[in-house]
């Protein structure tokens, strides 16, 4: 699997701060528990662009800031390591949950989502080949995923604190299926505009072949973002407080 190295910048956590009262809770015994979960997930995610969340030490999801992400070469046409720094990921808070299932026995959650547009903006460093063509440069990269459906699985462990049970999320798996991916790498080949434009055009004309080869790396990036934010949110309320 082609996994990125990720370094996030997040607010310091404080277990003394609870979830905002605007976050919906669900009782696992209620007959419409599954429907309640779906609404609660949608309601909570939609709030993750509000400045007021700083008062609760919850990091904003718009944008997500990633200090570093290194996405390995693929096994096909993408023979270049993608080194990104100072990234901003925008659009994730607009995700729409289509399904949400919580398996208490397996200690896992599964959900299907749709997001109309996600934009990744980073400083980049590339030196390798794509589609047998050389690609080299440093500068600003923008990558846009449009109309993306996704399947997400997260697994957690139960941690006891002060006679209460908390969820600690330990792994994630994301499968993304965008309808289009647009790449733009500024300043390729030391600023040679003609060469740079040609390579960007080739990437975008063959976006599916390119993206599919490094899908796992980009999916892991999104999965780690989900994992980080879910751990923060679930550190602020026990499972008993959330579900009973």
Beta carbons of 71 and 85 less than 8 angstroms apart: no
Tell me which residue range forms the domain holding 235.
Answer: 5-243
Q: How many Cα atoms occupy the beta-carbon half-sphere of 18 within 13 Å? A: 11
- pTM as predicted: 0.86
Using one digit for the tens of pLDDT, what is the confidence trace for 164-211? 999 999 999 999 999 999 999 999 999 999 999 999 999 999 999 999
What is the band of 232 on the pLDDT scale with cuts at 50, 70, 90? confident
Say what the pLDDT of residue 53 is: 63
Q: Which residue has the tokens 């400045």?
A: 51
- Computed over every residue of the chain, the mean pLDDT equals 87
Query: In angstroms, rounded to a whole number, what is the distance separating the alpha carbons of residues 81 and 153?
Result: 26
Query: In angstroms, rounded to a whole number, what is the distance separating the alpha carbons of residues 44 and 61?
Result: 11
Using one digit for the tens of pLDDT, what is the confidence trace for 134-162? 999 999 999 999 999 999 999 999 999 98
Tally the domains of the chain.
1
| Domain at 99, CATH number | 3.15.10.30
């Amino acid at each position: 699997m082609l996994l990125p190295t990720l370094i996030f910048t997040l607010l310091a956590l404080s277990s003394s701060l609870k979830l905002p009262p605007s976050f919906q809770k669900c009782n696992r015994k209620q007959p419409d528990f599954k429907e309640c979960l779906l609404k609660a997930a949608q309601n909570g995610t939609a709030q993750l662009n509000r400045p007021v969340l700083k008062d609760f030490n919850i990091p904003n999801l718009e944008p997500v800031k990633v200090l570093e992400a290194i996405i390995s070469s693929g096994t096909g046409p993408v023979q270049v390591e993608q080194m990104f720094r100072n990234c901003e990921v925008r659009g994730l808070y607009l995700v729409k949950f289509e399904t949400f299932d919580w398996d208490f026995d397996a200690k896992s959650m599964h959900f299907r989502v749709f997001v109309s547009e996600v934009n990744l903006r980073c400083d980049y460093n590339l030196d390798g080949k794509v589609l047998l063509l050389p690609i080299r440069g440093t500068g600003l990269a923008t990558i846009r995923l449009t109309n993306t459906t996704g399947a997400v699985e997260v697994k957690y462990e139960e941690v006891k604190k002060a006679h209460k049970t908390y969820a600690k999320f330990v792994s994630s798996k994301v499968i993304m299926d965008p309808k289009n991916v647009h790449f733009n790498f500024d300043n390729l080949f030391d600023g040679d505009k003609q060469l740079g434009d040609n390579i960007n055009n080739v990437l975008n004309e063959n976006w599916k072949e390119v993206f599919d080869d490094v899908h796992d790396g980009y999916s892991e990036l999104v999965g780690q973002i989900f994992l980080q934010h879910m751990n923060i949110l679930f550190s602020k309320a026990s499972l008993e407080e959330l579900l009973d």
